[in-house]
Structure 1
Amino acid sequence: MPPGAADHGAIDHKNLPKSTPGWKVLVGELIADKLALFSLIIFVLLTTYVFGLTLFLDRAEIVTVDLFAINQPPDETFRLGTDYGGRDIFGQLIIGTRNSLAIGFLVTLMSVGFGIAYGLVSGYFAGQIDNALMRVVDFFIVLPFLMIVIVFVTIVPSYDIYTFSLIMAAFLWMGTARMVRSLALQEKELDYINASRTLGSSHFKILFTQMMPNLVGIIIVNSTLSLAANIGIESGLSFLGFGFPEDYPSLGTLMAYATQTQTLQHRWWIWLPAAIMILVLMLCVRNIGEALRRAGDARQRQA
């Protein structure tokens, strides 16, 4: 037998091309997209600066009314001027940005986390379990989300960031659940899932150590886009007067000052910084999310 004949037809595993890990694809796409990379840097710097500076700010002092400093334009004492109560706009902007970002992160973490677990269980078990779980999702989807949140905020006597985030997250997990469920229905039919079942792996291990890691890329994209939406929802509710009160500022409460004609026309320093901050945050998160979305589609990647 000629040398090497025994190896004829054998697969050389060492020379097989290796697939690129999902996280490397995401990082590569972010680096290739200069706008997304710049947006990521700006977002990280803003978040770090805001959360770091709030450690040295006293909220009670900032929101204290000062009748001798009403509606002052920016000067050496007040970098962004004061509002109709003589309160420092710069301090309110920093604390308000921190509060809006904190709510956005918390709502995203809770809603996406619950939606992932819910969708995985529904898609993996399928059948009657999937049908029952999806009827619950359908029920929550048809509910008027904003009206219910407004009612909850109105009837709750006092609430903080965590309570407000929990109320919002309770009605924002359905989209993630439906998306993950559809992906889980496809993933459960693959050979590695059937092999794991044959080997006796537990359902929990298959769901959260084998199936979910393969969906991480899509989950990251969904979470990023959800973050922008959640920040916008909180700002909108606060703008309408159904968010935090004035002594607990957010970007929405600062934007609410623009409803006053005199403030809108002649006191730009009160509402314009908050508007610019919302615009910058939304654009940064959107650009990052778009780059991550392209990373999940090989036909649109730039890297």
Structure 2
Amino acid sequence: MANEREEKSRINDNENNTYKYNETSENKEHTPPEKGDGFSLKDNDKSESKELDMSVKADLPHGATGHGALDMKNLPRSKPGWKIIFEELISDKLALFSLILLIIITSYVFGLTMFLNQAAIVKVDLFSINQPPNDDFRLGTDYGGRDIFGQLIIGTRNSLAIGFLVTAISVGFGVVYGIVSGYFGGHIDNAMMRIVDFFMVLPFLMIVVVFVTIVPSYDIWTFSLIMAAFLWTGTARLIRSVAMQEKELDYINASKTLGSSHIKIIFKQLMPNLVGLIIVNATLSLAANIGIESGLSFIGFGFPESTPSLGTLMAYAIQTQTLQNRWWIWAPAAILILVLMLCVRNIGEAFRRAGDARQRNA
């Protein structure tokens, strides 16, 4: 009996000691540490925040600072417009070949005409009438004994010069006119568009015919100006419609809020965003302007025979005998017009794809 009592008292003492130890340990866990312990809750929070900082910074790219910061140096940058056009031309072999061919023809024609005497070429020689190609005349002569090769070189130079001049004047004026009209809108746009409508309803061909009939002598500059006076309206309407959409975007509104002048917004912010469209329109207008000049000269309302052009050479084909039996007079001019039109068309298509990200090859 004594042994049993001793055993029970020993078990009770062990249980009491275990309960006191557990209670003491629990109190220590939940009791905040004192100042002298060298550790505090604030230190714990700081260590946790430092660990979080290190984990966040590890995920950020090199050079970025702060939570969610952007690495401005390593961000991908958009390609400049000239590089996009260059890559598109390189990827499109047909457009690249057309550009090289157009440059070669233009350089050869403008370079060779510096050494040709136009007065001697267009001089009538009755002893060399309608000769086929030979050693003296590479492409034969016409019904006046004039060298077809010399007329072809000078005529190509004149047709290209007119095409470039008319395109530069009409597209340049039309772009400025259309941007101003679309940017300001309201009464200004209404008044400017009525002027465009007035020029569009005028009979262009009839006015050119009257001009050619009244003016006794005219040159490339005057003929280009009379053509450009009526061919800028299409460009103006196109650019105006795009400018009206662009002016509603955030970057234009932000510039207005910052107090930028209208001239600065138009020429430094709005116009650069339309460069792709302007290049495409100018390229296609060049082919159209060359065709218009050739067509007017073909029907007899372009340049006279003393000023050769591709159209005046094509006009020889009106005669049945020349069309059937003297191919060397009109065929080279017809082939050259076709080549120039195809070259400009292929280059224009490449420029159009470069301006549209959905259709780019590169």
Name the TM-score class by shorter chain: over 0.9
- Report the Cα distance in structure 2 between the residues aligned to 1:137 and 1:143, rounded to whole angstroms: 10
Residue 90 (structure 1) aligned to one of 146, 149, 157: 149
Partner in structure 1 of residue 278 of structure 2 = 219
| Greater alpha carbon shift after TM alignment, 4-13 vs 141-150 | 4-13
- Report the Cα distance in structure 2 between the residues aligned to 1:173 and 1:215, rounded to whole angstroms: 17
Superposition deviation, residue 194 in structure 1:
2.1
Superposition deviation, residue 37 in structure 1:
0.4
Partner in structure 1 of residue 263 of structure 2 = 204
Partner in structure 1 of residue 115 of structure 2 = 56
- Report the Cα distance in structure 2 between the residues aligned to 1:269 and 1:133, rounded to whole angstroms: 49
Q: Give the letter for the 1:249 counterpart.
A: P
- Report the Cα distance in structure 2 between the residues aligned to 1:239 and 1:197, rounded to whole angstroms: 52
Partner in structure 1 of residue 325 of structure 2 = 266
| TM, length-normalised to structure 2 | 0.82
| Greater alpha carbon shift after TM alignment, 287-296 vs 38-47 | 287-296
Matches within 5 A, 1:149-228: 149-228=208-287
Matched, 1:102 2:139: no
Secondary structure at the residue paired with 1:10? coil
- Report the Cα distance in structure 1 between the residues aligned to 2:288 and 2:230, rounded to whole angstroms: 13
- Report the Cα distance in structure 2 between the residues aligned to 1:63 and 1:205, rounded to whole angstroms: 51
1:100-146 CA distance string (max 9 Å, x none)? 00000000000000000100100110111011111111222222222
Matched, 1:42 2:137: no
Q: Give the letter for the 1:239 counterpart.
A: F
Superposition deviation, residue 218 in structure 1:
0.8
- Report the Cα distance in structure 1 between the residues aligned to 2:358 and 2:235, rounded to whole angstroms: 24
Residue 32 (structure 1) aligned to one of 91, 97, 106: 91
The answer on whether the counterparts of 1:100 and 1:251 sit within 8 Å (CA) in structure 2 is yes
Q: Which runs of 5+ in 2 are unaligned?
A: 1-48, 57-64
| TM, length-normalised to structure 1 | 0.97
- Report the Cα distance in structure 1 between the residues aligned to 2:233 and 2:299, rounded to whole angstroms: 25
1:82-104 CA distance string (max 9 Å, x none)? 00000000000000000000000
1:265-289 CA distance string (max 9 Å, x none)? 1111100000011010000000100
Matched, 1:301 2:360: yes
RMSD of aligned residue pairs (Cα, Å): 1.2
Superposition deviation, residue 188 in structure 1:
1.2
Overall identity of the aligned pairs, in %: 79
Matched, 1:252 2:307: no
Residue 133 (structure 1) aligned to one of 192, 203, 222: 192
Partner in structure 1 of residue 130 of structure 2 = 71
Bigger relative CO (Cα 8 Å, ≥ 6 apart) = 1
Partner in structure 1 of residue 339 of structure 2 = 280
Q: Which runs of 5+ in 1 are unaligned?
A: none
| Greater alpha carbon shift after TM alignment, 13-22 vs 121-130 | 13-22
- Report the Cα distance in structure 2 between the residues aligned to 1:146 and 1:260, rounded to whole angstroms: 23
Matched, 1:237 2:296: yes
Report how many residues are paired. Answer: 303
| Greater alpha carbon shift after TM alignment, 150-159 vs 89-98 | 150-159
